[in-house]
Amino acid sequence: MAELGPLALVAAVAVAYAAGVTRAWQRAGTGRLISVRDVLCFSGGLIAALVALIGPIDTRAGTSLTAHMVQHLLLLSVAAPLLAIGQPAVAFLYAFDDETRAHLAPWWRRALRSQHGRGWLPWIAITLAVQTGTLLAWHLPALYDAALRHPLLHGLEHLSFLLSATVFWWVIAGTGRPSRRAAAVFAVFAAWFPPMGIGVLMTLARSPWYPVYVVHTRAGALGDQQMAGVVMWAVGGLASVIAAAVLFGTWLAEFDRRHPPGEPIVVPPVEALR
């Protein structure tokens, strides 16, 4: 029964997204506004969320801290970036009727305009801070144990992880100008430091952090916690490296497109990069 909540939520999101994509393609043409690649990425994000929240991983997460950290990483490092790449804001905007969309469109345009020029950096800073604060808060022993003991609170924990990370990755995915790619790469690495720090502290801890996992022996719970720490800093770090490499690769591809081999490179003034 506990699986019905996440399943119903994912199904509702999928239906709303599909309705928005259908209407957007009817208005602008298939593949316009939202590409087929975007749809595939969003679908992959929903599948990753289902894998994390329903089935063996979720069942094991109730008794294993390692499984629980795998669950969190799936939400933060796999589901969230895929959902963000899928143009969810555009799809959900088109999921509304024409009248409602007309009321929401000015707010959407204002949000996009606020990211122009230097306004993009505050978006990065704020979304990174929210994601970091959410991650750190839910890993405090009191909140963590309470979430495991209360299903509704546990669902809120996972939803806050997914929403905060998706918004952060949405800002990263909107890095259209090549001059922003370097800042985006640094932001991705900055996002890795909090889970890395938690993972290192878990690995080096001499006693279990979360009493709820001390079922048989403290030594067994400590070993599980140390493995969970390795998962947090090693696997989470790998996901960040992959994301940064993709961003760097797209920057290089854009650079090669704009500056073919043999063509002299003109360095723009600093003002042009802002």
Across the chain, what does the average pLDDT equal? Answer: 85
Helix pair 151-173, 181-204: axis angle to 10 deg: 150
Give 133-139's long-range contacts (Cβ < 8 A, gap of 24+).
134/160, 134/161, 134/164, 135/76, 135/161, 135/164, 135/194, 135/195, 135/198, 136/194, 136/198, 139/198
Q: How many CB atoms lie within 10 A of CB 159?
A: 15
Q: Nearest CA to 175 among 160, 188, 164, 163? A: 188
In this predicted structure, which of 18-32, 46-60, 196-210, 241-255 has the lowest mean pLDDT? 241-255
Distance of alpha carbon 274 from alpha carbon 130, whole angstroms = 25
Percent of the chain with pLDDT over 90: 46
pLDDT at 203: 92
Evaluate if residue 218 carries a pLDDT over 90. Answer: no
Query: What's the distance, CA 51 to chain centroid?
Result: 15
Question: In degrees, to the nearest 5, what angle opens at C-alpha 137 toward C-alphas 136 and 138?
Answer: 95
Tokens 């629980």 correspond to 68
Q: 94: exposed, middle or buried (C-beta count within 10 Å: 0-12, 13-18, 19+)? A: buried
More confident call, 188 vs 224: 224
Model confidence band, residue 190 (pLDDT cutoffs 50, 70, 90): confident
Q: Nearest CA to 10 among 159, 151, 147? A: 159
What residues have CB less than 8 Å from 138, skipping those under 6 apart? 144, 147, 157, 160, 161
In this predicted structure, which of 9-18, 43-52, 163-172, 181-190 has the lowest mean pLDDT? 181-190
Tokens 């801070």 correspond to 129
The predicted model scores a pTM of 0.85
Six token digits for residue 160: 């806050």
pLDDT digits (tens, 9 = 90+) for 1-29: 566 788 899 999 999 999 999 999 998 88
More confident call, 263 vs 50: 50
Query: What's the distance, CA 80 to chain centroid?
Result: 3
Domain ranges, ordered by start, for the chain: 4-102+117-257
